[in-house]
Structure 1
Amino acid sequence: MKIVVLDNDRSQTDLICQVLTSAGHVCHGFQTGRDLLSQLRKEEYDMLIFDWQVGDMGGADLMRKAREKLNENAPVLFMTTASGEDDIVAGLDAGAEDYMIKPLRRSEMVARVQALLRRAFPTQNGAEQLQFGQYVFETRPGRLLMDGNVLDVTHKEFYLALLFFRNIGRPLSRAYIHEAVWIRETEVPSRTMDTHVSRVRNKLQLKPENGFRLVPVYSYGYRLEKLGG
């Protein structure tokens, strides 16, 4: 599903989009309400997530204008701080379907987003599939298949593999991988990430004869390469 995210803080929108992209969605982030509304005039989205205290316009005003351009079934989820009780009341009164308290937790955000989308688009409740050659990622159950066979991967291995496949040919820094997969775990030893990458490489058989190669990028991170065109 296509999700649009608005927050004044660029690092926050990037983080949310990383998480939702890893969960199988297409996500576009913006820092101003003006830019978001301009984008909504050009492209259709299935969901809006935004900070109620966005700087260049009020939350209720933004939501009203966005509703005019969003898919008619598109749910709205807004974010606020723990002290923003008035924002919560105002947002729900204005017609938002749900809210989240900052700082956001990855698992909770993904669960809330998936629940809202299932409710809004009941005919699309089946497993969302993303295919890359012989690999098929079913994002809702978190299942990974290779040549039709289910691979035994953990939750983190699944999202780590999906992150690489959604960024084929692009070097990913260790910091980027950490934020996308180990979102709220501040103390993740370097060896832990290397071990997970090694397991993904082995379990998915990412080797030249299968058309892919997962390689380290010296002093930076990792890159998944597609071989043979």
Structure 2
Amino acid sequence: MAEPPADRVETEGRLDDGVLHDGLLDDGVLHEGLLDDALLDELSGLAAGLARRAADLLLEGMASVPELLAAERIGTKTSATDMVSEVDRASERLLVDGILAARPDDGILGEEGTDRPGRSGVRWVIDPLDGTTNFLYGLPGFAVSIGVEIAGRSVAGAVLDPVQDELFEATLGRGATRNGAAIHCTMVGDLGLSLIGTGFGYEATVRARQADVLRTILPAVRDIRRFGAAAVDLCSVACGRLDGYYEVGLQPWDLAAGGLIATEAGAVLGGLDGGRAGAPLTVAAAPGIARALRALLSQAGLPASREAGSGPPRGSVTLGQPEMRHSQGVGTRILTVEDDERIRTAVRMALEDEGWDVDESESGEQALEAFAADPSDVVLIDLMLPGIDGFELCRSIRRTSDVPILMVTARADTHDVVAGLEAGADDYVTKPFQPKELSARIRALLRRARSTEPVRTRLRFGDLEIIPDDGVVRRDGEEIHLTKTEFRLLCELASSSGRVFSREQLLDRIWGYDYFGDGRLVDVHIRRLRTKVEHDPAHPQHVVTVRGLGYKLNG
């Protein structure tokens, strides 16, 4: 973070202008690796609590629906089919009051008219009753949807279906859950075997066009479903009830929570051309069918997104583990993700000279689909990509794959490097770089990934159990997934219980290349390791810091 001007006081991540600065750099861009965990916990907890309160109000309000219908007290908005009730408005008032009571400086955007600017940098995007038609007709398939944005990007979301009593939640970088249990989208790879959801607009002319589109879509998929609530549809993709979903004309309150939940569960989310989701078209799908579904929708004549740049929230994808093929020569496959064709070509030629097979992607979206179809041994990611940027791409791959990731940055800026490492990268290289340097970094990554040298058969440190030969770590009997670099780091610390390792020693032993002086690699990986092996990462009991000396593992 840049230093505040002399006439402004910085206190707990805020300047005295009242604007949130945690996770924001001077360019105003959100970097999830720099977000404060306590802030995310506060926002996600408040969203879930308010969703439950509003859901209770909706269930109570169902009893009054016959009276409202009889008295013709159901209003309309954009058309005669776009209904709104007193219950919608009451639910929005409840949510707004609850947000302002807890966080009076936050902004709020609500479907039923709330448009309140804020001063904190946080904006709540709420749909108090998504699926009003279902609600008024006594059908299931309506929900409360609450999203939270920072710098225009969703960081927390909650969608609660009162009838099914299902609470879907997601926090940026932490995955998605349903009633507290982790959820993931499907890994279907055949569009013809996919169940696809959609919705219809409120204008008659739009509906007629959507009906024409169905003529193309329906014969090419397993079947079509229409649940009647965008947030429910997106959550259905997240938990595998749908393989994909598309809809025209979604608004921010339709997407802020459900879109984040879908991407955190591994779905690819965006417009037809890989740009931002929203009007005019949103597509959310399992990674194995995303490209095919977009191509089919394009063939059917649906429009591309108006803006192909970055936007909230974009694709994450659940990916398989790469199968390590051979040694570091012939048969090793490297995926390089770079939007500059000249750089991409030069990198490919340099890596092929080393005997490696190279796959190329010019965007994050292409890379997600390529990796899902055929995982690589190493992924080389440029941070500055159009659409899904390198930070998101790295985080998406890292969610379920421990493939070695080497990030490429145009400058050795601490913010870029730390954010990339926090997103899950194992190492970084700074432009411009020499081909020999790049090759050496990749070889070091491959050595660590393929090392089978055991430490001891079984190690115990309190509630932590390490089985080096099997690559297994358990805490309280439950297995913890670590990347290969994190596992090597933990085993190195465990090799001499209680011994203090300096940053330089860990750099030499784990990274094995000329990294002297760059303690950021160690510090960020230690933080990542603590989030997985510690009950309270802020107050670690196992991986502890010895001030001025380094790190050690306590028993």
Higher relative contact order (CA 8 A, sep 6+): 1
- Under a length normalisation based on structure 2, what TM-score does the superposition of the two structures give? 0.21
Larger Rg: 2
- Under a length normalisation based on structure 1, what TM-score does the superposition of the two structures give? 0.50
